[in-house]
Amino acid sequence: MAVKPLIGHSFTNGDGAVAFELPDLPYAKDALAPHMSAQTLEFHHGRHHRAYVKKTNEMVTAQQGLEGATLIEVIEAAKARGATNLFNNSAQLWNHSFFWQCLSPAQGQEPSGKLAQLIDDSFSSTDAMLKKLVEEAESHFSNGWTWLILNRGKLEISSLHDADTPLAHDGMAPLFTLDVWEHAYYIDYRNERPKFANAVLSNLVNWEFVAENLDGRGGRRADQDGDQLAESLRETADS
């Protein structure tokens, strides 16, 4: 499923062609407070995520054969070609697009159905799994992402450094992620990463989205299709 194009956040590459965009947040900037402030979202989404979009679009034009490629195809091609800068920026574009969907305003939400059963089978309880996610986030050295993944029908917790993404690895179907780059929490929590992880994991997890990703299509839920985006923007401009 391609990310829905959002007018006002689209970008063009060097030759004026429509490229990837900054997806809007799926909630108001103040909707995650007090656990994640509007100021954090303004900087994290509005500046950091936006910068990855801009740099990806600039770099794609230097690569042959990527015209109209999806974001996932760009990430895969960048890894295969050893195009490190393009990989880092396009992977961060995808990682953040996925991350925002992993969160939702605090409403006492809890896992249910098949997801709840898998959690019990793999970790004995939701609380035990959340504790392991916090521990993984806390122990991860420097920048990166903590992940809940599906590997051959079993839930696993892992972390990846810097811009690395499950899309670049076999056996890592993404279900949920927590951004542990310092810019994700410094405004609200300074250097207290464990406090940030506890607050987000105890209050803001979008369990409905996590459950949807059990179908193995989590990657596509944060993907973007260059051709579809261009067509959608043209249709909007003509209407």
- The answer to whether 89 and 52 have CB atoms below 8 angstroms apart is yes
pLDDT of residue 1: 31
Q: Is residue 3 part of a domain?
A: no
Shared-domain flag, residues 212 and 226: no
Shared-domain flag, residues 19 and 91: yes
Q: Is residue 17 part of a domain?
A: yes
Shared-domain flag, residues 129 and 160: yes
Shared-domain flag, residues 53 and 150: no
pLDDT of residue 157: 98
Q: Is residue 5 part of a domain?
A: no
Shared-domain flag, residues 67 and 152: no
Whole-angstrom distance, CA of residue 237 vs CA of residue 150: 40
Shared-domain flag, residues 74 and 138: no
Q: Cis link prior to 34 (omega < 30° from 0)?
A: yes
Shared-domain flag, residues 79 and 53: yes
The number of folded domains in the chain is 2
Range of the domain at 151: 113-218
pLDDT of residue 147: 98
Q: Is residue 4 part of a domain?
A: no
Six-digit token string for 150: 């599906």
N-term to C-term CA, the chain:
24
Shared-domain flag, residues 147 and 233: no
Q: Is residue 89 part of a domain?
A: yes
Nearest Cα residue to 66 out of 46, 48, 51, 87:
87
**Tens place of pLDDT for every residue, the chain, 239 residues?**
333 333 335 555 555 455 899 999 999 999 999 999 999 999 999 999 999 999 999 999 889 999 889 999 999 999 999 999 999 999 999 999 999 999 999 999 999 999 999 999 999 999 999 999 999 999 999 999 999 999 999 999 999 999 999 999 999 999 999 999 999 999 999 999 999 999 999 999 999 999 999 999 999 999 998 666 545 544 544 55
Shared-domain flag, residues 84 and 129: no
Q: Is residue 127 part of a domain?
A: yes
Q: Is residue 96 part of a domain?
A: yes
The angle at the Cα of 11, spanning 9 to 13, to the nearest 5 degrees, equals: 175
Name the residue with tokens 């690395």.
164
pLDDT of residue 13: 57
Six-digit token string for 137: 């986030």
Q: Is residue 2 part of a domain?
A: no
Nearest Cα residue to 35 out of 202, 214, 225:
202
pLDDT of residue 8: 31
What CATH number corresponds to the domain at position 199?
Answer: 3.55.40.20
Whole-angstrom distance, CA of residue 219 vs CA of residue 83: 21
